[in-house]
Structures are given as structure tokens and as C-alpha cells.
Amino acid sequence: NVDLIGEMQETNIKYAFSHRIWDPYHAVRHFWDHTLLYMQSRDIDLRTREGMPDVAVEISLPGAADIVGEPMVVYNGKSIMADFQIMDVKWWSSGSFWDYFLYVDSMGGWWTDRWGDTAVRTVAVAMHLNHEEVWQFDLPYAHQKFCRCGANSSKS
């Protein structure tokens, strides 16, 4: 038996989850653009962030299409799903998360673009938590099109 909450408390994990899936484009339309503006206004540079969890973004190397010639931060389109997650409520009610949440809320995308909460939480984890504070646990779990049903099952 695994005591997920006990393990989280012992290792100072603030967010644990079972899986990630691809967000449909309509659920995140314009979301990343607004997030980039937020990060710029708060001097958050994920390209230089040490210990960032590998959950939401990728750093792409400069290519022919990159006008600025610097590595770019790109939302990978995968979100941590909310159907099996455990979180430290203290962190989620902290200033850093709420500052981002209120900014996203002020953009109106919940209503105009039907943004989902999963993308917001996923990107907040990448922006504000360290790799050691995030845990993707490996327990049998199935929901809709996702299944981790055995040793050879598909993983997120």
C-alpha cells in the first residue's frame, strides 16, 4: 500500500498527479499568449529557471523561424488532469498562484475561449514549483481515454 499524503508530507511535495493528456486547441486558444504576457510583466523567465518541473513547457532551440534568435518557451499542449490529483492547499492559496490565477481570470478566456482549469494549474506548477515539489505517481488508474492498467500500459 502507498500512503500518498504521507509520502507528500515526508518529502515536501506540493502537487501530485496521475497523468497528463493533450488539451484540445479550443480549450487553450489564446491562453499561452496571455501567459507569456504575464511572465513578461512579472520577470519570470522559464528559460533560466532552475529545477522547473517537466510538466507544461518546452524550451526550443533557435531555428530559422525564430525571429529573436533565442530559445523560446513553448506550451507543450499537455495538461495535468484534475480527476486524480493531490495538492498542498497552503501553496495553492499562496500569493504566487493567486496572482497568476487572477491575471488569467482578468483576461476573460474562461468565458470567451472556454479555457479549462487544467492548463492554468499545469502552467502555474511549471512557473512556481520546483521539480522536487511535484510528483507524478504511478498507480493503476483509468479514466475516459487514459489507462495505466498494468506494467505495459500507456503513460502520459
| pLDDT tens-digit readout, 48-107 | 776 666 666 666 654 544 555 566 677 777 888 777 888 898 888 888 889 999 999 999
* Full strand arrangement of the beta sheet holding 15-17: 85-87, 15-17, 134-136
**Pairing mode of beta strands 85-87, 134-136:** unpaired
H or E segment to which residue 11 belongs: helix 4-11
User: At what angle are helices 31-41 and 117-128 packed, to 10 degrees?
Assistant: 30
Residues 38-46, mean pLDDT to the nearest whole number: 87
Gap between the Cα atoms of 98 and 104, Å rounded: 10
DSSP tag of 15: E
Confidence of residue 9 (pLDDT cuts 50, 70, 90): very high
pLDDT at 139 over 80: no
Q: State how far the alpha carbon of 75 is from the alpha carbons of 19, 71, 122, in Å.
A: 17, 13, 10
Query: HSE of 149 in the Cβ direction (CA atoms, 13 Å)?
Result: 6
Mean per-residue pLDDT, 112-129: 84
pLDDT at residue number 74: 76
